């Protein structure tokens, strides 16, 4: 359903109502029998209109997901941000070794001495250390673990 | 976490790809699982209260929305002040995520804030605002721009 894109939408693709939807629905969505009606009301939309706009926003790739966000740790699993330093000449091979693990949820190249940053998501807390150890064995590189100690979340505002 | 019974697990599996865009989404999920709409709403509410669901919301695609410059800003902040300052950083509307993480022998930074802008110049302006906010409690900082997405998949949970 998602369009994994790094493309930017053309100017004017979103109107003020679309931007209000993006800002408001990042905060939360009602758990009521007719949630689109309830969420749409403060935006001046009925449920059908809100659904139509959300469908379009998803189709054009303005949103990547709509629904519950689960906390892996609360479900008994864990998440951990990890980083390693891959030699430039060997970068793609190392990336392939890292990405081959299903526990690697995302992986980004970054411009720093620690040049590969990835997130491990495992169904058990022990899975993080186990997966990191396997990656270390396969790559011969140290996997530094940066687990989240505390999170401060507010979201991201689209200019209205 | 052992609070999840088999019905919760099926409910998580049924909603982790997203909520259906229909006027009564919880009734539709209930139909798929052989539950009542009231039970689906009750269980989702309980999962939200337990923190297993962090929120039900849209995730905007920063890239599609013109935020093509994305930097992971990192800060070496006095431990005693890190929590208070982290909350202030997280409350800024241009910070999408903000975390406290442990330091490592090769890594002195403990506060991470994701910054987004339409250009690196814009991201750097936001970084300057953070630097002012953190003041002398911050001893050093850096920013890591992502140069490539190497992998991106969502969290996948096993059913049951």
Regarding whether B98 and B32 lie in a shared domain, the answer is: no
* Closest CA–CA distance from residue A145 to any residue of chain B (Å): 8
- Assigned domain for B159 exists: no
Last residue of a domain, one of A48, A68, A88: A68
Q: E strands within chain A?
A: 63-70, 78-84, 104-110, 116-122, 144-146, 150-153
State the total domains in chain A: 2
Least confident of A4-8, A95-99, A102-106, B148-152: A4-8
Decide if pLDDT at A158 tops 80.
Answer: no
- Assigned domain for A155 exists: no
- Assigned domain for B61 exists: no
Cβ-based contacts of A57 with chain B (< 8 Å):
58
Picking from A100, A77, A98, A79, the residue whose alpha carbon sits closest to that of residue A142 is A98
Is the CB of residue A97 less than 8 Å from the CB of residue A132? Answer: no
Q: How far apart are the first and last CA of chain A?
A: 26
Picking from B126, B101, B95, the residue whose alpha carbon sits closest to that of residue B113 is B95
Structural domain span for residue B26: 6-50
- Specify the pLDDT at position B76: 98
Is the CB of residue A18 less than 8 Å from the CB of residue A52? Answer: no
- For the stretch B57-67, pLDDT in tens is 998 887 788 77
- For the stretch B94-133, pLDDT in tens is 888 899 999 999 999 999 999 988 899 999 999 999 999 9
- For the stretch B74-97, pLDDT in tens is 999 999 999 999 999 988 878 888
- Assigned domain for B56 exists: no
User: CATH number for the domain including A88?
Assistant: 3.30.70.3460
- Assigned domain for B27 exists: yes
Regarding whether B138 and B80 lie in a shared domain, the answer is: yes
Residue A16 phi/psi, 5-degree rounding, is -60, -35
- Assigned domain for B119 exists: yes
Burial state string for B86-113 with b = 16 or more CB within 10 A and e = fewer than 16 = beebbebebbbbbbbbeeeeebebbbbb
Decide if pLDDT at B14 tops 80.
Answer: yes
For residues A55 and A132, give the distance between their C-alpha atoms in angstroms, rounded to a whole number: 38
Interface contact flag, B25 A35, Cβ < 8 Å: yes
- Specify the pLDDT at position B69: 84
Decide if pLDDT at B142 tops 90.
Answer: yes
- Assigned domain for B16 exists: yes
Interface contact flag, A1 B18, Cβ < 8 Å: yes
User: CATH number for the domain including B104?
Assistant: 3.30.70.920
For residues A81 and A2, give the distance between their C-alpha atoms in angstroms, rounded to a whole number: 23
Confidence of residue B157 (pLDDT cuts 50, 70, 90): very low
**B150 contact A CB<8A:** yes
Q: What percent of chain A has pLDDT over 90?
A: 71
For residues A73 and B109, give the distance between their C-alpha atoms in angstroms, rounded to a whole number: 23
- Assigned domain for A131 exists: yes
Last residue of a domain, one of A22, A44, A68: A68
Regarding whether B38 and B79 lie in a shared domain, the answer is: no
B:80-119 residues touching chain A, CB 8 A cutoff: 83, 86-87, 89-102, 104, 106-107, 112, 116
CA dihedral A45, A47, A48, A51 (to 10 degrees): 90
Mean of pLDDT over chain B? 90
Q: What percent of chain B has pLDDT over 90?
A: 68
Regarding whether A117 and A92 lie in a shared domain, the answer is: yes
- Mean pLDDT value of segment A131-137: 98
State the total domains in chain B: 2
Structural domain span for residue A40: 1-68
Mutate to test the interface with A, among B6, B30, B60 (most CBs of A within 10 A): B60
**B121 contact A CB<8A:** no
- Assigned domain for A156 exists: no
- Assigned domain for A96 exists: yes
Mean of pLDDT over chain A? 90
Decide if pLDDT at A85 tops 90.
Answer: yes
């Amino acid at each position: 359903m998602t369009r994994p894109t790094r493309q930017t939408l053309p100017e004017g693709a979103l109107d003020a109502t679309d931007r209000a939807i993006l800002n408001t629905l990042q905060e939360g969505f009602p758990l009521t029998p007719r949630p689109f009606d309830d969420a749409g009301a403060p935006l001046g939309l009925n449920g059908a209109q809100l659904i139509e706009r959300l469908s379009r926003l998803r189709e054009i790739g303005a949103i990547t997901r709509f629904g519950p966000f689960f906390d892996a740790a609360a479900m008994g699993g864990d998440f951990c941000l990890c980083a390693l330093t891959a030699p430039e000449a060997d970068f793609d091979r190392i990336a392939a070794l890292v990405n081959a693990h299903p526990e690697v949820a995302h992986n980004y190249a970054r411009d720093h001495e620690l040049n590969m940053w990835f997130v491990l998501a495992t169904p058990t807390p022990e899975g993080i250390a186990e997966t990191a150890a396997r990656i270390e064995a396969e790559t011969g590189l140290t996997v530094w673990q940066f687990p989240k100690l505390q999170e401060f979340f507010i979201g991201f505002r689209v200019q209205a | 976490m052992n609070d999840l019974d088999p019905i919760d697990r099926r409910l998580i599996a049924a909603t982790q790809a997203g909520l259906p865009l229909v006027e009564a989404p919880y009734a539709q999920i209930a139909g798929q699982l052989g539950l009542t709409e009231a039970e689906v709403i009750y269980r989702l509410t309980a999962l939200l209260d337990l923190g297993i669901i962090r929120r039900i919301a849209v995730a905007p695609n920063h890239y599609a929305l013109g935020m093509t410059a994305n930097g992971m800003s990192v800060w070496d902040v006095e431990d005693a002040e890190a929590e208070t300052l982290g909350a202030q950083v997280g409350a800024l509307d241009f910070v999408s995520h903000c975390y406290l993480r442990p330091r490592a022998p090769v890594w002195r930074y403990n506060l991470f804030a994701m910054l987004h802008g339409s250009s690196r110049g814009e991201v750097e302006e936001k970084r300057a605002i953070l630097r002012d906010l953190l003041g002398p409690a911050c001893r050093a900082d850096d920013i890591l721009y992502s140069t490539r997405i190497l992998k991106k998949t969502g969290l996948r949970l096993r059913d049951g």
